[in-house]
Structure 1
Amino acid sequence: MTHFNDLIDGYYRFRGGEWLEERERWTELASGQEPKVMIIACSDSRVDPATIFGSRPGEVFVVRNVAALVPPFDASGGLHGVSAALEFAVTKLKVEEVVVLGHGACGGVNASLTQSLADAKPGEGGFVAEWIGLLDEARERVVAEHGVTEKGQAALEQEGVRVSIENLKTFPFVQAGLADGSLSLHGAVFAIADGKLKVIDEDGAFTAA
């Protein structure tokens, strides 16, 4: 099990190895970032996007949250972490692609599927319950077809990616990028068990990458 002291040890290994090997790269990055891709991924410790895609520092702009969800556009105010990151990536960094990355064995998706946090209070699971409420409509469709089963879990993991992509399209600056061709949206699901990646094709189906 990794603790903070282990992380510090890892930092020293990084500082004495990879950082030195990529010294020129880090010098360039110190003056700014120009990633072309934004990835919206789950906070799950097993699905680090940089590891999965083999990206180098500065290549991807990443925001992670429970179940890799994107809320719909909301101009009423409040604290909107995902929306703020999206706005920054699209309007300031001028990313050209946004990828929603779901994954197998997702705990947030399972909580939605099983409704295990339905009556939880904030601080006791309630924050998570409200967040994964973004999947409620998709859950109803999945349960009607597959029930609360392993197949239902896999189906809802894919539906979660579709929900987030549709919610991305509600943001005016995303709509503008899609309209002028400067931005494209992608969806994928990574299977932890076998390491396979499925991506959404032009027909909206998930196929092997």
Structure 2
Amino acid sequence: MSIIEGAIRFMHTGFNEHKELFNELKQAQNPHTLFIGCSDSRVVPTLITQTLPGELFVVRNVANIVPKYRLKDEFLATTSAIAYAIIALNVENIVVCGHSNCGGCEAIWHPKKLENMPSVANWLRQLDDVKHEIQNSDAPLEERAWLTERLCILQSLENLRTFPQVKEREEKGELKLFGWHYIIETGEVFSYKNGEFILLNKEQK
């Protein structure tokens, strides 16, 4: 199906399934969660979380990276979206969701592949600390991909806490942060808790 055919089908059938909901949402949104994920086409936030329109405020970029908080005279897309979700929308949760077979995470190990994509190469420089940590570890080569993806998630969680409003609201118990690792081929979601990634379960609300 083409994207045009999909849009037409949505207008005629898909929209009607949630017509009342869209009518409620026409004036304002009130999402409960900020979902920060990779731009990868295989990662579908609403499908993974089984949520409806209006529940998630979504930020997506290459390798689900959260930069450290900063104020500069430049266009800060991810930083601005995070600030808007926290301050304007007052979300209750923030999920940083990485995934298996992440091309962005893998690319840091193959810089030649990024020679014709200088903007992507520059963006992924934010994972230099992750790369150095793995290089200085005893991790087997076959575990490098998952380790890169998971350390990227943890770094993004750390960087989230450099946002003043995030740190303040988390300390007050008004905001929960989650680090997820989604496995494409199995549908499993591992959540970071108590120093390790464990398969998501009902006790991890």
For the aligned pair, the TM-score class normalised by the smaller chain equals over 0.9
Question: Does 2:181 correspond to 1:189?
Answer: yes
Aligned to 2:133: 141
Aligned to 2:97: 101
> What amino acid is aligned across from residue 28 of structure 2 in structure 1?
G
Paired residues of 1:117 and 1:129 also in contact (CA < 8 A): no
Write the deviation string for residues 104-144 of structure 1: whole angstroms up to 9, x where unpaired: 000000011333457x3xxx211111111111111111133
Query: In structure 2, what is the Cα distance between the partners aligned to 1:15 and 1:150?
Result: 46
Alpha-carbon offset, residue 52 of structure 1: 1.4
Query: In structure 2, what is the Cα distance between the partners aligned to 1:128 and 1:192?
Result: 23
Q: Specify which of 57, 61, 65 is matched with residue 65 of structure 1.
A: 61
Gaps of 5+ in 1: none
> What amino acid is aligned across from residue 128 of structure 2 in structure 1?
D
Query: In structure 2, what is the Cα distance between the partners aligned to 1:19 and 1:188?
Result: 30
Query: In structure 1, what is the Cα distance between the partners aligned to 2:135 and 2:35?
Result: 28
Gaps of 5+ in 2: 201-205
Write the deviation string for residues 155-206 of structure 1: whole angstroms up to 9, x where unpaired: 01000000000000001111121122211111001111222110111x1210
Which secondary structure state, in structure 1, belongs to the residue aligned with residue 137 of structure 2? helix
Query: In structure 1, what is the Cα distance between the partners aligned to 2:33 and 2:157?
Result: 15
Question: Does 2:130 correspond to 1:130?
Answer: no
Which secondary structure state, in structure 2, belongs to the residue aligned with residue 145 of structure 1? coil
Alpha-carbon offset, residue 75 of structure 1: 1.7
Aligned to 2:145: 153
Q: Specify which of 170, 182, 204 is matched with residue 195 of structure 2.
A: 204
Q: Specify which of 15, 20, 23 is matched with residue 19 of structure 1.
A: 15
TM-score (norm 2): 0.92
Which secondary structure state, in structure 1, belongs to the residue aligned with residue 60 of structure 2? strand
| CA RMSD of superposed structures (Å) | 1.5
Paired residues of 1:113 and 1:156 also in contact (CA < 8 A): no
TM-score (norm 1): 0.90
Query: In structure 2, what is the Cα distance between the partners aligned to 1:116 and 1:150?
Result: 21
Aligned length: 200
Q: Percent same amino acid at aligned positions?
A: 34
Query: In structure 2, what is the Cα distance between the partners aligned to 1:146 and 1:129?
Result: 26
> What amino acid is aligned across from residue 206 of structure 1 in structure 2?
F
> What amino acid is aligned across from residue 86 of structure 2 in structure 1?
V
Write the deviation string for residues 65-100 of structure 1: whole angstroms up to 9, x where unpaired: 000000001123311100000000000000011000
Q: Which moved more, 1:167-176 or 1:141-150?
A: 141-150
Q: Specify which of 70, 80, 84 is matched with residue 80 of structure 2.
A: 84
Query: In structure 1, what is the Cα distance between the partners aligned to 2:88 and 2:113?
Result: 37
Query: In structure 2, what is the Cα distance between the partners aligned to 1:98 and 1:173?
Result: 12
Query: In structure 1, what is the Cα distance between the partners aligned to 2:106 and 2:98?
Result: 13
Query: In structure 2, what is the Cα distance between the partners aligned to 1:49 and 1:21?
Result: 19
